[in-house]
Amino acid sequence: MEMVRLNPPAELTMPVGDAMYSQRAIRRLDPNRPVTDAQLKIILDSASKAPNGGNAQPARYLVIRERGAIKEFGKLYFEAWWAKRRDAYGWTSKADIPEDSQYRFAAGLADEMVNAPVVILVYSNSTGVAASSTFPGVQNLLLSARALGLGTVLTTLHADVMEQVNTMFGVPSEMVFHCCIPIGYPRGNFGPTSRLPTSVTTSWDRWGNPPPWK
Ligand SMILES: Cc1cc2nc3c(=O)[nH]c(=O)nc-3n(C[C@H](O)[C@H](O)[C@H](O)COP(=O)(O)O)c2cc1C
């Protein structure tokens, strides 16, 4: 059989299991440790290798590097985040968020977005299956960033700010926004994560039958 040369970048040496089991939401990023263009190319190249419907490759990535733009975007993210929680729950400060709520972490990200060395906005150039075709690439992106020692967190944007964000960066109106990913070296540690056991999430042969490792 003919040998296929894959030529993955030499920097992506972390075993895939280690990357998957230690990748977690990193919301506090080091503003003083730069992420290089070469690292971003590795990350985006790995995203481009992901499965997608009919190999139509609808995903498009907007990489925001410019400090002033990230500061402006971060302020918008902060305002939108709090506007949404004010509308939904009447919260106006962190003291209003219940102790055990995951929103406490998300509120931290609203503070931190301005510090992100890089922000990637992920779009697709069409609707329909395009969203499902975009997220496998996003997962590759998160894992390859982890393999390079870079922290990420997948986040969304409030619908109210989408027009402002798209205008700010000249995004054409036909692009469909999917998620926003700040990237940088972590202030804090990677994994492990806490997830439901697969004995709870998995059925075997018939819905509700447990898997053999139950
Ligand atoms: C579709 C989606 C939307 C998310 N939105 C946010 C968000 O708006 N803000 C945030 O801080 N984290 C967001 N996250 C990250 C999740 O909160 C995180 O993956 C989850 O809590 C597990 O965290 P862990 O991997 O650190 O254990 C989102 C993740 C996904 C997949």
Q: What domains are defined for the chain?
A: 31-188 (3.40.109.10)
Q: What is residue 160's predicted lDDT score, i.e. its pLDDT?
A: 85
Query: 105 CB less than 6 Å from ligand 1?
Result: yes
Mean pLDDT of the region 19-28: 97
Enter the pTM of the model.
0.95
Can you give the C-alpha Rg of the chain in angstroms?
19
**pLDDT, greater one: 4 or 12:** 12
- C-alpha 154 to ligand 1 mean position (Å): 6
| Whether the CB of 127 sits within 6 Å of ligand 1 | no
pLDDT above 70 for 1: no
Which residue, judged by its Cα, is nearest atom 13 of ligand 1?
Answer: 155
CA pair distance 143, 43, nearest whole angstrom: 9
| CA 65 to ligand 1 center in whole angstroms | 22
On whether the CB atoms of residues 199 and 210 are closer than 8 A, the answer is yes
CA atoms within 13 A on the CB side of 18: 10
Is the CB–ligand 1 distance for residue 24 below 6 Å?
yes
% of the chain residues with pLDDT over 90: 91
Q: Is the CB of 20 under 6 A from ligand 1?
A: no
pLDDT at residue 128 tops 80: no
pLDDT digits 0-9 by tens, 157-179? 988 899 999 999 999 999 999 99
Question: Helix (H) and strand (E) counts for the chain?
Answer: 7, 4
Which atom of ligand 1 has the smallest separation from the CA of 81? 8
75 SS3 class: helix
Q: What are the CA-CA distances from residue 55 to residues 6, 19, 66 (Å)? A: 18, 26, 32
What is the structure's pLDDT at 159? 86
Per-residue CA distances from 109 to 69, 81, 112, 212 (Å): 17, 9, 5, 40
Q: What percentage of the chain carries pLDDT values higher than 70?
A: 99
| Contact assessment for residue 100 and residue 163, using Cβ atoms and an 8 Å cutoff | no
> In the predicted model, is pLDDT for residue 74 greater than 90?
yes
156 CB near ligand 1 (under 6 Å): yes
Asked if 181 and 153 touch (Cβ cutoff 8 Å), the reply is yes
Neighbours of 113 (CB within 10 A): 23
